[in-house]
Amino acid sequence: MSNVRKAEYRDVESLLVIEKLCFNQAYYSRMTPRQFYRHLSSPNALLLVVEDDSGTVQGYALGFLHGKRKALRFYSLAVAPDAQRGEYGKQLFGAIEQRAQEMGLGVQCEVREDNEKLINRYTKLGYRKYKTVRDYYPDGAACIKMVKEFL
């Protein structure tokens, strides 16, 4: 049975390993130890981890709260490659949505324009496109901004 919980300082080393395994720097900027520590201490960041039965961190999800916005900005989700194709990603994303909904917020996310699989997944979950930002990612790819509002 897996467990989703708020991340703690002791998790940073595991998060850095997952980050390195999951994100190719040609396409995405990887987070640094300093960034993870800053997110852990920030009241405006929601950093969650999922653990497997043995208590090993297998993934994380990160979202940001911005004072006047009516949506939590879902920033990143990563699951260790050998733990993918299971439920960890769904559990993390569901927990982000649940926390946002509990706060009376929607969820806003960003997706590479060439990631049709993820765009379709978000669309099926009730997200709608509202903006395209050209030259957004390190390789020049565009970003599609999407939002889901909870009633």
Determine the pLDDT at residue 124. Answer: 94
CA dist 125 and 122 (Å) reads 5
What is the average pLDDT score of the chain?
91
Determine the pLDDT at residue 11. Answer: 97
CA dist 31 and 9 (Å) reads 15
Q: What is the CATH number of the domain that holds 20?
A: 3.40.630.30
Q: Is the pLDDT of residue 151 over 80?
A: no
Structural domain including 30 reads 3-109
The model's confidence at residue 144, banded by pLDDT at 50, 70 and 90, is very high
Q: Is the pLDDT of residue 116 over 90?
A: yes
Is residue 76 one of the residues assigned to a domain? yes
Is residue 120 one of the residues assigned to a domain? no
Is residue 123 one of the residues assigned to a domain? no
Is residue 29 one of the residues assigned to a domain? yes
Amino acid at 149: E
The predicted-structure confidence for 12-58, as pLDDT tens digits, reads as follows: 999 999 999 888 776 677 889 999 999 999 999 999 999 999 999 99
Is residue 141 one of the residues assigned to a domain? no
Is residue 131 one of the residues assigned to a domain? no
Please state the domain count of the chain.
1
Is residue 144 one of the residues assigned to a domain? no
pTM beyond 0.85: yes
The predicted-structure confidence for 51-100, as pLDDT tens digits, reads as follows: 999 999 999 999 999 878 899 999 999 999 888 877 999 999 999 999 99
Among the listed residues 81, 85, 75, 89, the one whose alpha carbon sits nearest the alpha carbon of residue 47: 75
Phi, then psi, of 68 in degrees rounded to 5: -95, -10
Is residue 147 one of the residues assigned to a domain? no
